[in-house]
Amino acid sequence: MIKLKPLLFEGVSREESEKNDDGEPEPRPPKRGVSREEFEKTFYDTMKGNNPLIGEIPDVEEFYELNKQVLDGILQGATEFRFLGAGANGSAYSIGNKQVLKIEPGGYRAETIASRFDKQMKTGLHHPMIYHNGKLKTKDGEELSFAILEKMEIPSSEDLLVIKEIIEIIDDIMNSVKRVKQRDGKFKRTPYSPKDVVKELMLREADKIKEIGEKLRLKDDWLEKLINHMFKVRKENLSDFHSGNIGVRRIGPEGYLVFFD
C-alpha cells in the first residue's frame, strides 16, 4: 500500500502539516492516560492535614499494588490527576473529561445515589451523576469506596459567600415551623413546604437571589429547584448543606446549583 502522507507533505515540517486551511494549528486531542508515577506522587502529596484517608493508606505504593487492576482502568481513561480537596467524606481528584474521582472510607452516599439513577432522568437530578463506583482494598483487609462523579463548575469565593448566606437561610427555614390559623381561630404549628421557603426567602433576600442568578447565569427556576433538591436530600438522610459542597451544572449556557457532596 502506498503511504500518501509522506508524499503529500514531502518537504513540509510536521508543524506546518498540522495547520488548517487558515494557517492555524489544528487542535490536538487531549492526552489520555495518567501514569502510575503521577498518581502515586499526587496521592502521596495529599496525605496530610484533615485528609480522612491518612490512617487508611499508610503506604501509597502498596495501596496501588493491591488495587492495580481497578486503578489502571481509571487512570487509562483519565487526562489528568489533580487534587481538588479533602473533607469529612473523603478526598476528591480531577481526572479530566469533566469527571472527579472520589475516594472515601464509607460508600453509603455514592451507593445510595447510584442506586436511584435508573429511576431518574439524566438531567435535573438533585445529585451529581455517578458514572462508576466500587471498592478499593487496604493493607489491613478493610475496604474504601470510590466513585467517578460528574464535575461541577465551582463559583468564585466571592459568589460562594453569597450562596452560603442563601443556603443557611433556606436550611434555617426548613428546620422551622410556621403558625397557621385554623377555621376555629386556633393556630397550628406546621412545617414549611418548598413553596413556603421560596416565598419566605424572596421576602428576605430578593436582591441577593437576583444578583447571584444573573452573575452565575442560572436558569429562572434555579431557586425553586435548589430548595426542592434540599428537601429531597434531607429526606434521603444525605444532607450536608454548605457552600463547599455546591457547584453549577450547566445545561446549555445556563445552569442550576447542585450539591455534589
User: pLDDT: is 230 or 121 the higher one?
Assistant: 230
Confidence of residue 1 (pLDDT cuts 50, 70, 90): very low
Bridge partners of 135?
Answer: 145
User: d(Cα 118, Cα 142) in Å, to the nearest integer?
Assistant: 29
Q: What is the pLDDT of residues 28-57, one digit of tens each?
A: 555 568 999 999 999 988 887 777 788 888
Q: What is the pLDDT of residues 178-197, one digit of tens each?
A: 888 788 878 888 899 999 99
Q: What is the pLDDT of residues 231-247, one digit of tens each?
A: 988 887 776 777 778 89
User: d(Cα 186, Cα 134) in Å, to the nearest integer?
Assistant: 54
Model pLDDT, residue 168: 93
**CATH class of the domain at 36-150:** alpha beta
Confidence of residue 8 (pLDDT cuts 50, 70, 90): very low
User: d(Cα 148, Cα 100) in Å, to the nearest integer?
Assistant: 6
Indicate whether 6 pLDDT > 50: no
Indicate whether 23 pLDDT > 80: no
Model pLDDT, residue 14: 45
Of 251, 247, 255, 256, which is closest to residue 84 (Cα–Cα)? 247
Model pLDDT, residue 123: 44
Is the distance from CB of 77 to CB of 152 less than 8 angstroms?
no
DSSP label of 10: T
**Cell 434540599 belongs to residue:** 230
Model pLDDT, residue 112: 65
Model pLDDT, residue 198: 95
- Contact residues for 62 (Cβ-Cβ < 8 A; gap 6+): 139
Vertex 82 angle, CA 127 and 229, to 5°: 10
User: pLDDT: is 55 or 66 the higher one?
Assistant: 66
User: d(Cα 141, Cα 204) in Å, to the nearest integer?
Assistant: 52
- Break the chain into its structural domains and give their ranges: 36-150, 157-259
User: d(Cα 245, Cα 237) in Å, to the nearest integer?
Assistant: 16
User: pLDDT: is 48 or 254 the higher one?
Assistant: 254
Mean pLDDT of the 63-85 span: 94
Q: What is the pLDDT of residues 135-177, one digit of tens each?
A: 999 888 888 989 898 899 999 999 999 999 999 999 999 988 8
